[in-house]
Amino acid sequence: MAAFLAACGGGGGGTRPVAPGTVTPPPTPTPTPTPTPSPVYDTPEYNRSNAAASAGAIAAYEDGATGAGVKIAVIDSGVDIQSAEFTGRIDPASRDIAGTRGIDDADGHGTSVSAVALAAKNDSGMHGLAFNATLIALRTDTPGTCAASDGCSHSDSNIATAIDTAVAAGARVINMSLGGEGPNSRLRTAIANATAAGVIVVISAGNDSLANPDPFAQIAADPAARGRVIIAGSVNDTDALSDFSNRAGSYAAYYLATLGERVRSFDHTGTAYLFGGTSYAAPGISGAVALLADAFPSLSADEIIDILFRTARDAGTAGDDSVFGQGILDLIRAFSPIGATSLAGSAVPVTGDAGSLAVLGGALGDGGDLTGALSDVVVLDSYDRAYVADLGTGISRATPAPRLAAALQTNTEEARDALGIAGYSLSWNAAVSTRPWLGLAQSGGVDARADADARITRGFATGSVTPGTGIGFAAGYGADDLLANMAGTRAPGSRFIASGDALRDDGVSVVGTRAAAVSQRIGAWTFGMAAGTGETESLRPGNAWDRRRNADPVTLFAASASRQIGASDVTVTWSRLDESGSILGAEGSTALGLTRASSDFLGLDWAMDAGHGWRIAAQARGGLTHLDVASGGLISGANALRSLAFAFDVTKSGVAMRGDTVSVRIAQPLRVEGGALRADIPTSYDYETETAGYTRRTFTLAPSGREISVEAAWSLPLADFGHLDTNLFWRRDPGHIAALDDDMGAALRLRARF
């Protein structure tokens, strides 16, 4: 019969005595000022509980895990049954396996080990890692051996019976701060039965400073262990392996270290000491197992061990090594989500990374209530552990660029020509971008540029195939814009740099557009139809010259009716925008459930020559956007989004000299005005049924602000060279975001013809 000794006494086999572990009275604490009130778990008692503190157990407590309902079996010399630290938490299955003495500890080893695992949190002394766990105290010391100078001995037979008792009593983890020779067949069978039942066994590595753990602990590599035996090594408070601790050696795959040197605990008399030995590393790991089992009851033994190993702090040689094995216990990492996270009740992956759920901008501005509606969402990690996450952090907002900066980057001059033969005509237009030479920003900075680089950015060609019938093709223009140009009711360029075209600017930055149109004049009316395709430009940061496109295209359709009524030009336009992967330009995600949208817009464009060089113009555009809600996402339903844009212009020609123009515009770019969305948010999770509980939240995407821009422009012709333009502007709530400062500026631009 092989006999085993308490591991704090080292390794060895038979009844051979071993060197005792260290037991040091704790230093008398220096009086300190009354501390500032701390969170409920960050107490002086916790800070004295260095086994718990060094493992980061406070992360478990703040997640609500205390070990409640979890049974830890400690096979040792019993426990001090008079201690208030265990009152009410000693399981009835506790018993003396080796005799009829009862479980009251006469040696102190069992009490001190049990205290590290689960001593009560009572603002006195120290507390264990799993301070609300239940103790199954199984006394296995051979009668009379604890009084000997070489310490208690424990037989294979008694240990095996204790393991069987622990399994029958429902222990989730068995702590054996024991060491010595390898187990005999009876004990090996007991360990095999325990691991087969899903019980985790924690065994001390031993205190002989050897390259490999004790032979007893080496059972971890035996097939009987099924990978569910953890070997506990000891480190000090600087994460250095304790001099006395046996190393991982050839058993690195099963070895985990934690504090086992100068560990605060108390003995069977209630006297506090700083204990040393791998005996005190083992209950730290056993307590960690209990905390994970409490917090996440659906975890299997294999998953708990995998989490502890996967999240261990790396020490020594990078990765698994022969000294620290898997690393050092770290409950802060163990209680953090691991791997990909998904919505509870859904396989849809989600993260809180900025932009992972949506990137807002354009007509949606900052998305109104969307961020708040996505707080307190239950997600599951790769182990199906439930966490409450603020998914609002996954919503990012594209901060609108100051309009002056955009004007300084691109100076667009329109060039036209036409050819007519016998009633047929062909006209073409190209927009050439160059760099301007001076701009004065709100901040007072001056941006002077000289760049010979020029490129054609957009253009169109139109022609008449029969009198009254026209066709057109465009690149860089939308379908409705091409129709307006064909009808002659809208100038292709704009003098304004801060306020866009209310009809053309639908809040969606579409690049790579290609469009074709046909028009027919019937009496005083000109009717047209057009279609086009393009890609939405990403709202994520990128180079303005090298625009980054989304993979999903958009399609555009438009129909218009135009005519002159006296001195007025009137155009009524219907247009449709079908998006895949975006919503009015905002980038959605599968997790959000919003990736497609169809928008119908009705626009009115009116301009009148008032005589004496005066021209008045107004634009208005209203839209309804229908959202395609994908199943499995956060959004469960949506009403149509209502949007509105408008602009009002007054222009006077010949103010200072012949050919100059002064224009004033007040405008609002397209803005979502209303439309409710519904989200069924998982806000609870039942581990027993593995089902989520949901709360319905209703919110709107109407942004927090309303952008209104006021701009004055003066254009001065420079003979045949081009134009000198001066602009002054003010934008309130840029991008419809109330939190942003107003955008103001002035620009002096030279637009040269080619």
Biggest alpha carbon distance in the chain? Answer: 124
168 band by pLDDT with thresholds 50, 70 and 90: very high
Asked whether the predicted pLDDT for residue 724 surpasses 60, the reply is yes
Place of tokens 């157990």: 57
Higher pLDDT, 467 or 524: 524
Q: Which parts of 31-157 are beta strand (E)?
A: 71-76, 95-96, 134-139, 153-155
> Residue 463: which of 398, 499, 422, 418 has the closest Cα?
418
Distance CA 398, CA 413 (A): 28
Distance CA 370, CA 390 (A): 12
Length of the chain measured in residues: 754
Radius of gyration, alpha carbons of the chain: 38
User: What mean pLDDT is reported for the chain?
Assistant: 83
Higher pLDDT, 106 or 407: 106
Type and span of the H or E element at 329: none
Domains of the chain: 3-334 (3.40.50.200), 403-752 (2.40.160)
Among residues 109, 127, 268, 736, the one annotated as catalytic is 109
399 band by pLDDT with thresholds 50, 70 and 90: confident
109 tagged catalytic: yes
Q: In 68-155, where does DSSP find H-type helix?
A: 109-118
Distance CA 220, CA 192 (A): 10
Type and span of the H or E element at 684: strand 676-686
Q: What Å distances lie between residue 395 and 241, 347, 380, 547, CA to CA?
A: 44, 20, 19, 22
Number of neighbours of residue 30 by Cβ within 10 angstroms? 5
Asked whether the predicted pLDDT for residue 656 surpasses 50, the reply is yes
> Residue 18: which of 204, 232, 282 has the closest Cα?
204
24 band by pLDDT with thresholds 50, 70 and 90: low
612 tagged catalytic: no
Percent of the chain past pLDDT 90, that is, above it, reads 50
Q: What mean pLDDT do residues 200-221 have?
A: 97
Percent of the chain past pLDDT 70, that is, above it, reads 81
Distance CA 180, CA 247 (A): 15
> Residue 502: which of 615, 576, 604 has the closest Cα?
604
Q: What are the structure tokens assigned to 577, written together?
A: 């925008």
Residues 6+ apart with CB under 8 A from 126: 45, 48, 49, 50, 52, 115, 119, 264, 265, 266, 272
Among residues 49, 54, 63, 76, the one annotated as catalytic is 76
Of 509-513, 540-544, 584-588, the range with the highest mean pLDDT is 584-588
Q: What mean pLDDT do residues 408-418 have?
A: 49
Q: Which amino acid is at 268?
A: H
pLDDT digits (tens, 9 = 90+) for 107-148: 999 999 999 999 999 999 999 999 999 999 999 999 989 887
Query: In this structure, what DSSP letter does residue 352 have?
Result: -
Q: Which parts of 281-401 are beta strand (E)?
A: 341-343, 349-350, 358-360, 377-380, 386-389, 395-397
Q: What mean pLDDT do residues 404-419 have?
A: 52
DSSP 519-583: EEEETTEEEEEEEEEEEEEPSS---SSS--EEEEEEEEEEEEEEEEETTEEEEEEEEEEEEESEE
pLDDT digits (tens, 9 = 90+) for 432-466: 444 444 444 333 333 333 344 444 456 777 777 77
Distance CA 559, CA 531 (A): 9
pLDDT digits (tens, 9 = 90+) for 338-370: 998 888 888 788 877 777 888 888 888 888 888
76 tagged catalytic: yes
Among residues 49, 279, 538, 582, the one annotated as catalytic is 279
Q: In this predicted structure, which of 289-298, 306-315, 414-423, 650-659 has the lowest mean pLDDT?
A: 414-423
pLDDT digits (tens, 9 = 90+) for 285-307: 999 999 999 999 999 999 999 99
Residues 6+ apart with CB under 8 A from 424: 463, 464, 465
Q: What mean pLDDT do residues 260-273 have?
A: 96
**CB contact at 8 A, 528 and 492:** no
Asked whether the predicted pLDDT for residue 222 surpasses 90, the reply is yes
pLDDT digits (tens, 9 = 90+) for 612-641: 899 999 999 999 999 888 877 788 888 899
> Residue 149: which of 16, 341, 297 has the closest Cα?
16
Q: What are the structure tokens assigned to 598, written together?
A: 């169809």
Asked whether the predicted pLDDT for residue 204 surpasses 80, the reply is yes
Give the model's pLDDT for residue 507: 56
**Structure pTM?**
0.73
> Residue 569: which of 621, 619, 497 has the closest Cα?
619
725 band by pLDDT with thresholds 50, 70 and 90: confident
Number of neighbours of residue 332 by Cβ within 10 angstroms? 15
pLDDT digits (tens, 9 = 90+) for 37-66: 545 899 999 999 999 999 999 999 998 999
Higher pLDDT, 466 or 31: 466
